[in-house]
Amino acid sequence: MKMNRVGVAFVWVFFFVLLFTGCKSVRKVGTVEAGGAKAHTEFFTLMQEQAFKYETLTARLNVDLNLPDNKMSSRVDLKMVKDSAFQLSVQPLLGIEVFRAEISVDSVKVIDRMNKRYVADNYANLKGQTPIEFNFYNLQALFTNHLFLPGQQGISPKQYHRFKLKQEGPAAEIQVKDVMGLLYTFLADGEEKVLSTRITDPSDRYALQWDYADFRLADGQPFPMRMEVQVMKDGASQGGITLHFSRMQTDVPVKMDFSIPAKYKRITLAQIIRSLSSNNR
């Protein structure tokens, strides 16, 4: 997994997977150190019960992109229907949309308004174009502070045994490997909130680090209002993004619109990745 591919893929994770915050009052809550060890099944049952619950989400985000030679900030508006699709609008200046992206269970669509072009493809055609093969449900889990099994839609009690659990110190450590040998390490506090997710390749040289912070009550449930995501090589950051959530609304009607202008040129995601690669050399 070459670092330039990881960096480009990460930028595209930013463009087509951002999630919610909203418009109701929030109250800051702290993280809780892990107390006494719980039984394996009890621990994961509590994690499932404590996970953030929603059916729809709308949000506004402020996103800071930090790459070695490129730093920028942007406003992003988000709509999401759980287990179905989410859509985001990237608006760097004066509320003018430059990108719109929609991720569904089986496909991705992106409109690049600056260059009058668009992508519409399914995941089967995207295999091999990114170094880490996520499905929709794993991406959804990352942005909603959920534990997940690689490649799976959800976690059933019969699957709890697939996780290795170590309950020592202030946080519990949870680990699982996928079929490609990537190691997923989750840290959780004493209230079974996920504090971080780290995805490491088999060589242990490259990793994606996803940290959750500034937990606040949203609709009576704790949610991390700041997420920091870093691409790592040999333990050093190669760049990343910080997501600041605000103005969250849950379980309100959401209308998805993704009309593509007739004169826009259709291209592949691989073409955009090559363009991004050349622009960031």
Q: Which pLDDT tens digit goes with each residue over 94-131?
A: 778 888 889 899 888 888 888 899 988 887 776 655 54
Q: Which has the closest alpha carbon to 19: 225, 251, 239? A: 225
- In this prediction, residues 160-188 reach a mean pLDDT of 92
Are 12 and 269 a contacting pair, CB within 8 Å? yes
> Residue 10 carries which side chain, given as an amino acid letter?
F
CATH 3.30.420.40 assigned to domain 3-276? The reply is no
pTM as predicted = 0.81
User: Has residue 141 got a pLDDT over 80?
Assistant: yes
| DSSP 8-state code for residue 97 | -
How far is the CA of 25 from the CAs of 21, 78, 132, 246, in angstroms? 11, 18, 36, 10
